[in-house]
C-alpha cells in the first residue's frame, strides 16, 4: 500500500471525519477551522504523490479509492464521514458506491457526478513550459472575486510546487469520472456543499447531486468560489459539524 501522510486532530469521536483534497492539492486545502474542528476526530489525508506523501500518484479515481479504502480498513475502528473536495468528492462517491458499509456519511464539497476538465487545462498541464499559465488560469477560476489576495497568492504558490505530471494525471482522472447514472443507487447520507460563485464545479453540479442522491441535503455558501472551505472556513466547519451530529450512530 502507498504511504500516506495523515494529520490527526481531536479525541475519539463517533463518527470520525476524514478529509480528502482535490486535484493537485494536499491536506492544507482544508483550513485549520476544518482540520481542527472541536468535538471531532479529524483525519486530513495527503493523497499519494501530494503534500508530504511520497509518490507515485494514482492515475484514476478508482485507484485513489482503493488506496483510501485500504487506509481506512487499517486505521479506523468505525465507519467515518468522508468529506471530499472536487476530485476528493469523486473518490468519496466511488467509495459510497463500492463500499457503502464503510461510510457513515459523506460531504461532497465543490464536486459533481461528472468532472469534465476544460481542454486548455488538460493539454496545458502536461508541459512544464505551459504549466505556470495553467496554474494562473486555475487560480482565476478557483476563487470568488471577494477572496483575499493573500489567500489566492498562497494557493497559487502551493500549486506551482506540484509536479506537472501529478496535476495532469489528476485532471485526466477527473475528466474520465462519470457517475451521473449511478447516483440513485447510493444510499449513503450526503451533505452537498458548494460556493455560490464556483466556476470550476458550478452550483448546478451540486444541485444535480442533491436532486439524484436519495439522502442528500444541499447548502450553497455565499461569497465563495470553488475553494469554498478556504474562503468561508467557518461556514464549512459549521455545516460539517452539524452533519456529523446528525450521523452519529
**pLDDT confidence of residue 1:** 65
**pLDDT confidence of residue 38:** 86
Which residue ranges make up each domain of the chain? 5-246
Judge whether 70 and 41 are in contact, CB under 8 Å: no
Low-confidence stretches of the chain (pLDDT < 50) are: none
Cα–Cα dist 8/55, whole Å: 21
Of 241, 223, 240, 243, which Cα lies nearest the Cα of 232?
223
Q: Chain-centre distance of CA 178, in angstroms?
A: 16
Beta strands of 140-188 (E only): which ranges?
A: none
Other C-beta atoms closer than 10 Å to the C-beta of 15 total 20
Kindly tell me the sign of the dihedral angle through the C-alpha atoms of 220, 13, 7, 186. negative
Cα–Cα dist 61/175, whole Å: 10
Kindly tell me the sign of the dihedral angle through the C-alpha atoms of 90, 156, 149, 18. positive
Return the CATH class of domain 5-246: alpha beta
**pLDDT confidence of residue 14:** 75
Residue with cell 504558490: 157
Single pTM value for the model: 0.96
Other C-beta atoms closer than 10 Å to the C-beta of 120 total 12
**pLDDT confidence of residue 169:** 95
Judge whether 229 and 109 are in contact, CB under 8 Å: yes
**pLDDT confidence of residue 41:** 95
Cα–Cα dist 113/210, whole Å: 10
Beta bridge partners, 84, equal 20, 108
Cell of 60: 484514476
**pLDDT confidence of residue 35:** 97
pLDDT digits (tens, 9 = 90+) for 34-54: 999 988 999 999 999 999 999
Beta bridge partners, 178, equal 114
Other C-beta atoms closer than 10 Å to the C-beta of 223 total 15
Q: Which three-class secondary structure state does DSSP give residue 154?
A: helix
pLDDT digits (tens, 9 = 90+) for 114-133: 999 999 999 998 888 999 99
Cα–Cα dist 121/136, whole Å: 10
> In the Cβ-directed half-sphere of 245, how many Cα atoms lie within 13 Å?
9
Amino acid at each position: 500500500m502507498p504511504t500516506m501522510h495523515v494529520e490527526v486532530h481531536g479525541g475519539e469521536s463517533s463518527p470520525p471525519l476524514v478529509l480528502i483534497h482535490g486535484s493537485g492539492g494536499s491536506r492544507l486545502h482544508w483550513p485549520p477551522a476544518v482540520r481542527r474542528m472541536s468535538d471531532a476526530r479529524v483525519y486530513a489525508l495527503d493523497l499519494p504523490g501530494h503534500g508530504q506523501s511520497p509518490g507515485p500518484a494514482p492515475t484514476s479515481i478508482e485507484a485513489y479509492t482503493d488506496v483510501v479504502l485500504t487506509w481506512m480498513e487499517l486505521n479506523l475502528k468505525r465507519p467515518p464521514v468522508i468529506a471530499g473536495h472536487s476530485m476528493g468528492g469523486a473518490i468519496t462517491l466511488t467509495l459510497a458506491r463500492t463500499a457503502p458499509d464503510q461510510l457513515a456519511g459523506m460531504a461532497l464539497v465543490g464536486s459533481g457526478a461528472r468532472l469534465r476538465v476544460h481542454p486548455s487545462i488538460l493539454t496545458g498541464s502536461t508541459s512544464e513550459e505551459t504549466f505556470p499559465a495553467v496554474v494562473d488560469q486555475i487560480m482565476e477560476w478557483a476563487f470568488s472575486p471577494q477572496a483575499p489576495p493573500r489567500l489566492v497568492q498562497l494557493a497559487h504558490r502551493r500549486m506551482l510546487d506540484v509536479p506537472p505530471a501529478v496535476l495532469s494525471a489528476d485532471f485526466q482522472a477527473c475528466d474520465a469520472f462519470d457517475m451521473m447514472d449511478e447516483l440513485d443507487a447510493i444510499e449513503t447520507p450526503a451533505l452537498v456543499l458548494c460556493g455560490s460563485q464556483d466556476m470550476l464545479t458550478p452550483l448546478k453540479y451540486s444541485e444535480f447531486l442533491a436532486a439524484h442522491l436519495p439522502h442528500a441535503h444541499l447548502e450553497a455558501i455565499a461569497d465563495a468560489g470553488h475553494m469554498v472551505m478556504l474562503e468561508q472556513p467557518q461556514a464549512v466547519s459549521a455545516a460539517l459539524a452539524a452533519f456529523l451530529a446528525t450521523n452519529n450512530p
